Amino acid sequence: MATNITMPQMGFDMTEGTIAAWLKKEGDPVTRGEAIAEIETDKTTIQIEAFSDGILRKIVAQPGQKVPVGEVIAIIADPNEVVEAASPSPVEQPTQTPALVTPPAPTPVTASGVVTESDRVIATPVARRIAQERGVDLRLVKGTGPEGRITKADVEAFILSATPAPTKVEPPAPVVVPPPPPVPVPTPVAAPPPPVSVSGEKQPLTRMRQTIATRMVASKQQVPHFYITVSVEMDAALALREQINAALQAEGVKVSVNDMVIRAAALALRRFPNLNASFAGDGIQRHDQVNVGVAVSVPDGLVTVTVRDADKKSLRQISLEMAGLAARAREGKMQPADYGGQTFTISNLGMYRVDNFIAIVNQPDAAILAVATAQPAPVVREGQIVIRTMMNMTLSGDHRVTDGAEAAQFLNEIKRLLENPWGLVL
Amino acid sequence: MDRDTLISLYRQMLLIRVFEDRAAEMYAKAKIAGFLHLYNGQEAIAVGAVSALAPDDEIVVNYRDHGWALARGCTARAVMAELFGRATGTTGGRGGSMHLVDVKRHFWGGYAIVGGHLPLAVGLAVAAQYLKTGRVTLCSMGDGSTNIGTFHAALNWAKLWNVPIIFLVENNQYAMGTAYEVHSAVPMLTKAAGYDMYAEEVDGMDVLVVHEAVCRAAERARRGDGPVFLNAVTYRYRGHSMADPDVQRSKEEIAEWRRRDPITRFADEVLLKRELATPEELAAIRKSVEAEVEDAIEFADNSPEPPLESLYDYIYMQPVSHMQISGSLIRPPKLGGRVSPNGKHH
Amino acid sequence: MPEITYREALKRALREEMQRDPTVVIWGEDVVAYAGGGAYGVTAGLAKEFPGRVRDTPIAEEAIIGIGIGAAMGGLRTVCEIMTVNFTLVAWDQIVNHAAKQSHMFNGQIKVPMVIRTPNGHGRTAATHSQNFDAWFASIPSLKVVAPATPYDAKGLLKTAIRDDDPVVFLEHLQLYSTRGEVPDEEYLIPIGEADYKRRGKDVTIVTWGRMTVESLKAARILAEEGIEVEIVDLRTLRPLDLSLALESVRKTNRMIVVEEGWRTGGLGAEIAASVQEVAFNYLDAPIARVAGLEVPMPYAKNLERATLPFAEDVVAAVRAMMQNQY
């Protein structure tokens, strides 16, 4: 039987060898154990032996030829046997051993997914983790560690300073504020949408835009919103407003519809303590004061100013206060007492000719009132279609704090007060 | 010694010879890896010594251990499977050629650090002495291991505590390729004399001579007369390992020793001469031995590799409760330690 | 509870185990002859109590340990005393190539129930006699390595080590032998492979063992006066390493310092720091810091020796630096 002589493995580190010389020539008889060739490895020259008896019928690898271990170098066979042209036999491959190591787990997403290379936040791992859990944008946190590294303590201090103390409302917890950095209930800005392939210029986020983004996302993520809309007949209120403004013209007082809404809301809030409240994790925090926040549009965004103790102030007082607040807001000259600490917020887009809109709750308030434009509309009165000045208002409520029925009664109380406006001034 | 015993010695020596030749072939065919140190030429020592010991006497040897394992009764299958690195080997593929073991047969293993196993053997003998088991420990070693510190520390201690041990030097006259006169300052027996140890020099190419010498040594040790030192002069036909080109020994010298081959001599001068066996019977023995080794190769080749999940088995004989969070055990494979593409060694 | 020395605690463990199990034997250089029993007096008197079982040996560490391994293979429980850890180097082949290989390489056929007792330490003995190889021992698979810091742990762990079926390297410390601590008269065992809180605190986790546990406790007292509460995890066992308490603690404190006596490069502290950050990365508020011995062969001169080794003040300084965000 023909046997292939293969390049032998002669040492644990040998992978190939060179035929140095054949000690037998084709046709020579060989016996098992007899040296038949000399092989050169990178270390030495070594004789190789035949592992079977027979005739060296064919030398496949010539002297000087380099052959991998396991390749055929010669064939031993019986004298009469037909020897086929040798084809190299494959080198025995070591069995593939499955690696015992598993690939490392995918890198967890770090807290500040929005951080770009140029804007790298240096923060400790635990600071990143807490920031992610609590929705803190680390770019807004000041780091006290080496090279400004943000530590766990920095994040905790940030959260503490940003959360309004639930029991007392007085220390101004800033709402949407341009100048000072602290931001209330924080949440990460939503991940930026995938880049669009439309050309255009990317505007950097202003501080205010960042804050708005953060706060609105937080509210939408954390607050279960529900919405109730009413239509208010404003003719009586508008008539009263004209009389008041005429009377107080000398004083420079000019009561706006919004002032009346503030007053109405403040009075209604006094009767519905659950709407003058905040969700506080393990309870509902009712507030002693009625502080009405009002969103004010400013050149690059909006801010919310606060009319404190609005339920205890006259329409005149409210009007005067609002005028000052709005002016300072638009000029970017707000004082700390001008913002924050609100227990309810009003957003009024009446001057923009809108029929209706829905606002996002301004945390930690229980609700926000969206006030649309008062405009003539056909309504049915005593079976007749008549024209009245109607104004839609939509209340967005925090369902963790209040429910539809209660909110509807509250909203109807505001409606009642506006439709019977003498209650606002008496 | 009766005929069956003599025939059995012959068969064992032949089994070792055929086994080693086929192992060389399997190594060349890359079925066996690493180091392979073959026993050709030295068969009379393992076979003669083991036949002189009780089945529960302890045996500790070096890395040239296939002959010892086979002589002690390990199957050719188990030994070949170990060389192949298979689950059915003597250590389930853990130890390979140099670390055969079979504690059930009181074969405590092959040890591959030259001289490293001598203290272990003395320790086994001390335990036997302390526990009064009556067992003798036989510790074989090459001549190359008689210069290292542990050799002297072990002989000194054995003599000092008078423990029942036989130090058996398989003096094949080369420490790897370095000849005895190049590596040793004094004749072998002088080393034993340094510790005032009873010593004999024996013909390591004669199985009966070895057998008788070990019988005498074991008897001495067993009756409490302390350690014995045997210098069995022998010769290895092949290089130190398969990687050894064997250029340092002359062809004439090898041929000279081959003429004193322990197997042919035993066949000619004992079995045939005393008419204990016919040439046909010896041929039949050879055939059966060749079949046994062929079967062992087939068995080894068809045996499974050890299961990967056995990798951590016996890291400890007594596992530790917190092992799951040990930095050294379960953790690393699960956590990472990614293999670098550049980490492959060439 | 009565207070005894670390030395006495070890002796009691040896005595109790020898009484309990007649196969327990003690070998070592001068464990009988010198000064009544052992270079540091741990075995004093035991030779008389247990005739033939406590034996002096030649000064040949490779044989003490090698023969200890063989005897353990053959049915004894050997306790080998190596006079100082520096001399284990002579027997490194026996420890690494033999003691640590038998069970796994021989596929469970052989067990080696032996204990190698040896002290770390220093004391104006210069470079060859003032070393710490904890990290080396702890890097060898299949060895068990313990390094108790207190008399209580020393006794409980030595008893466990003697009963264990695997080779245990038992690292004592010259500077601990005369320290005192509470040890109950009743028998108890401490499992190998379980770390221990030596102090609870909220600010910084100190992971340490051996002498540095004692130094860290001293540091903790100083720091407490400054209002800093450190938590001390005493590993007690260095292999297999129990990092569960270290991980639990750092999840609370978010800061960790590993304190070790040996050299920093390739030290066990490096392994601990690496493992902890792999598992508890998101809980770290500062890099894991290391306090370690300086990397020089130990000089003889008093001031240089002192400067080379870590002490309580080094731990204090490291903790302060971490609390001040300087890492």
Domain locations in chain B as residue ranges = 3-306, 316-346
Residue A289 pLDDT > 50, yes or no?
Answer: yes
Dump pLDDT digits (tens) for A326-347: 888 888 777 777 888 899 999 9
Tell me the one-letter amino acid at A420: N
Cβ-contact A189, A217 below 8 angstroms: yes
C129 is catalytic: yes
From the list C61, C172, C231, C260, the catalytic residue is C61
Angle, CA A413 vertex, CA A409 and CA A417 arms, to 5°: 170
Same domain, yes or no: C158 and C53: yes
Judge if pTM exceeds 0.90: no
Does residue C144 sit within a domain?
yes
Same domain, yes or no: C108 and C49: yes
Residue A46 has what pLDDT? 84
Q: Characterize the bridge pairing of strands A384-398 and A367-371.
A: antiparallel
Same domain, yes or no: C205 and C150: no
Residue C265 has what pLDDT? 96
Dump pLDDT digits (tens) for C182-210: 999 999 999 999 999 999 999 999 999 99
Single residue among C158, C182, C206 that ends a domain in this structure: C182
Same domain, yes or no: C279 and C218: yes
Average pLDDT over chain A reads: 81
Tokens representing C12? 């009691």
Single residue among C182, C212, C234 that ends a domain in this structure: C182
Angle B3-28/B43-52 helices, nearest 10 degrees?
A: 140
Does residue C43 sit within a domain?
yes
Q: What percent of chain C has pLDDT over 90?
A: 93
Considering only alpha carbons, which residue of chain C is nearest residue A150?
C285
Same domain, yes or no: C200 and C263: yes
Could you tell me the CA-to-CA distances from B337 to B269, C137, C278 in Å, in that order? 63, 22, 11
Mean pLDDT of the region C29-38:
84
Residue A85 has what pLDDT? 56
Tell me the chain C residues in contact with residue B125 when contact means C-beta distances shorter than 8 Å.
70, 74
Cβ-contact C56, C30 below 8 angstroms: yes
pLDDT band at A195, cuts 50/70/90?
low
Residue C261 has what pLDDT? 97
Phi, psi dihedrals of residue A414, rounded to the nearest 5°: -65, -45
Considering only alpha carbons, which residue of chain C is nearest residue A151?
C285
Same domain, yes or no: C212 and C175: no
Same domain, yes or no: C174 and C221: no
In angstroms, the CA C217 to CA C210 distance is 11
Residue ranges making up the domain that contains C213: 196-323
Catalytic residues of A: 399
Facing C282 at nearest CB: one of A129, A144, A145: A129
Tell me the one-letter amino acid at A1: M
- Alpha-carbon gap: B298 to the closest alpha carbon of chain A (Å): 17
Tell me the chain A residues in contact with residue C281 when contact means C-beta distances shorter than 8 Å.
125
Residue A106 has what pLDDT? 39
Facing A101 at nearest CB: one of B25, B30, B336: B336
Report which secondary-structure segment, H or E, holds A56: strand A54-59
Cβ-contact B238, B246 below 8 angstroms: yes
Torsion of CA C242, C247, C252, C253, to 10 degrees: 90
In angstroms, the CA B214 to CA B235 distance is 19
Q: Could you write out the DSSP letters of every residue in C142-176?
A: T-EEE---SHHHHHHHHHHHHH-SS-EEEEEETTT
Does residue C93 sit within a domain?
yes
Where chain B has pLDDT below 50, the residues are 324-346
A72 pairs with which residues across the strands?
A: A6
Could you tell me the CA-to-CA distances from A6 to A56, A76, B22, B81, B221 in Å, in that order? 13, 11, 15, 22, 51
Tell me the chain C residues in contact with residue B331 when contact means C-beta distances shorter than 8 Å.
275
Torsion of CA B256, B259, B260, B263, to 10 degrees: 140
Does residue C191 sit within a domain?
no
Cβ-contact A294, A345 below 8 angstroms: yes
Q: A48: helix, coil or strand?
A: strand
- C58 to B160: CB separation less than 8 angstroms, yes or no: yes
Does residue C190 sit within a domain?
no
- Alpha-carbon gap: A29 to the closest alpha carbon of chain B (Å): 19
Q: Characterize the bridge pairing of strands B165-171 and C204-208.
A: unpaired
Average pLDDT over chain C reads: 96
What is the homologous superfamily of the domain B3-306 according to CATH?
Answer: Thiamin diphosphate (ThDP)-binding fold, Pyr/PP domains (3.40.50.970)
Dump pLDDT digits (tens) for C142-167: 999 999 999 999 999 999 999 999 99
Tell me the chain B residues in contact with residue C69 when contact means C-beta distances shorter than 8 Å.
119-120, 123
Residue A112 has what pLDDT? 42
- Total count of domains within chain C: 2
Tell me the one-letter amino acid at A417: L
- What letter would DSSP give residue B102? B
pLDDT band at A300, cuts 50/70/90?
confident
Facing A9 at nearest CB: one of B27, B333, B338: B27
Does residue C188 sit within a domain?
no
Dump pLDDT digits (tens) for C69-85: 999 999 999 999 999 99
Mean pLDDT of the region C20-44:
91
The owner of tokens 């593939």 is A96
Residue A337 has what pLDDT? 79
Per-residue 3-state assignment (H helix, E strand, C coil) for B215-248: HHHHHHHHCCCCCEEEEEECCCCCCCCCCCCCCC
CATH, residue C200: 3.40.50.920
pLDDT band at A84, cuts 50/70/90?
low
Same domain, yes or no: C210 and C81: no
CATH, residue C15: 3.40.50.970
- B317 to C192: CB separation less than 8 angstroms, yes or no: no
